[in-house]
Amino acid sequence: MIEQFAKEELENVAQKIEKEGISKDIRKRLAELGLLAATLPQSENGSGIDRRSFSLVLMTIAKYSASVAYFTYLQNTLVNEILSKAQKRKEEIIKIASGESTGTLVHDLNLNFPQEVYIKGYELYGSNSFVILPDADLHLVLARSESPSYLIMANPVKIEKKKPLGFRAISFGVASYKQTIEEDRIILKDADSLLKSHFFDTSDQIAAIALGMSESAVEKAIEYSKERKAFESYLYEFQPISAVLTDMKGRIEEMKKALMLSEVVQDRILLKLNALELSRLASRVALQIHGGYGYLEDLGVERYYRDSMFLTMLSSNYIKDIKTVSKEIISPDAFKI
């Protein structure tokens, strides 16, 4: 069903979505399919989809529109993982789950150096320069204070959009805050470590998006290799081309299987890193096979090249990720020097 939705409603408009953004119609369709509060139990207005199936959903959507897949991931993160766990703000959950409004999470956990959003008393101030979907209706903002950190429902005083490298259907930019917040807008305390473990835990969902993108890039390349001739032979007849495509296919299949069985968080993080790397490689190969045409946006191939790197930047920090796993599987003192 998701396959059908993605194929029929996203495939042909994928390029248009990139230009015009994810429309309310698409959000509504995602909502109808129960994908905006996917893993939330039905009792809490969710769809009760199990985690593994949700990963497959993301992978399928990513094959047709990586932007829509990432958007879906982001909305679910807010709704399923954060708002619902915080046992708060039922009305916001419903709004996002229904596609009525959009939400975003403003944090600096994948950055090498913290962004300056602080809370002092009830005063929230500062800005973050790397916000995905800064024009979302709902901002959940990780704010640092002297002791713990807080996740706060806030409204930016100013946003400044920048053209992102990838996921151009989704806005990106700077969001600045300056407001006095009410008590009930504090969603989580000690939000830093809770968010971190959330991100680590959902690493497999990012891996799923990366794999969907990889698969799609490779399939496009195979298709093209069957249409395009050079030196009077089809591209796929050339050994190095079929070898690299076959190799990619194999690695995708391998990681898809690993995705199904990755229960431990360290495995998920490493799978994410590997899948992201694969997606960058697959997009580079696909672009290369398309030659000059691949370098033009018309064929929709260069998009994979940008999206795969942008997804990497958005959802992983190699040093932090590998450090986290090293400490777990080698020694708490690992990765020190």
Partner 1 sequence: MSDLSFELPQEVEETRKRARDFALREFTNELIEHFDETEEYPNEIRKKVFDAGFITIENPWNMLVTMEEFCRVDPGIGLSTLASVFGSEILLLYGTDEQKEKYLYPTLKGEKISAVAVTEPGAGSDVAGISSRIEKTEKGWMLNGHKMFITNGTVADHYYLLARSAPPPSKEKRHHGLTLAIVERRWNGVNPVKLKGKLGMRATDTAEITFENVAVPNENIVGEEGKGFYIIMTFFNISRVYVAAQSVGTAQGILDLLLEYLAEKPASFREMEYVQFALAEISALIEAARNITYKAATKVFSFNPDPALTSMAKYYAAEIANQVANTAFKIVGIEASGSKLEKLYRDAKITEIWEGTSEIEKLVISRMILKKIQEVK
Instruction: Name the residues that contact partner 1, by CB under 8 A.
Output: 110-113, 129-130, 162-165, 172, 229-232, 238-241, 243, 280, 284, 287-288, 291-292, 294-298, 302, 305-306, 309, 312-314, 316-319, 335, 337
The half-sphere exposure of 166 on its side-chain side, counting CA atoms within 13 A, is 27
201 is an interface residue for a second copy by CB under 8 A? no
CB 140 within 8 A of CB 150: no
Distance, in Å, from the CA atom of 70 to the CA atom of 62, rounded to the nearest integer, reads 8
Distance, in Å, from the CA atom of 324 to the CA atom of 337, rounded to the nearest integer, reads 14
CA dihedral 186, 189, 190, 192 (to 10 degrees): -30
Interacting residue with a second copy among 148, 193, 229, 330 (CB under 8 A)? 330
Which one of the spans 148-156, 191-199, 300-308, 328-336 is the region binding a second copy (CB under 8 A)?
A: 328-336
Distance, in Å, from the CA atom of 74 to the CA atom of 98, rounded to the nearest integer, reads 14
236 binds, among partner 1, a second copy, none (CB under 5 to 8 A by kind): a second copy
Distance, in Å, from the CA atom of 273 to the CA atom of 154, rounded to the nearest integer, reads 31
Identify the DSSP state of 333. Answer: T
Interacting residue with a second copy among 8, 253, 291, 295 (CB under 8 A)? 253
Site string for a second copy, 221-250 (x = CB under 8 A): -x--xx------xx-xxxx--xx-xxx-xx
Distance, in Å, from the CA atom of 287 to the CA atom of 176, rounded to the nearest integer, reads 37
Distance, in Å, from the CA atom of 60 to the CA atom of 46, rounded to the nearest integer, reads 20
317 is an interface residue for a second copy by CB under 8 A? no
331 binds, among a second copy, partner 1, none (CB under 5 to 8 A by kind): a second copy
Which stretches of the chain bind a second copy, using CB under 8 A? 222, 225-226, 233-234, 236-239, 242-243, 245-247, 249-251, 253-255, 257-258, 260-262, 266-267, 270-271, 273-274, 319, 322-323, 325-326, 329-331, 333-337
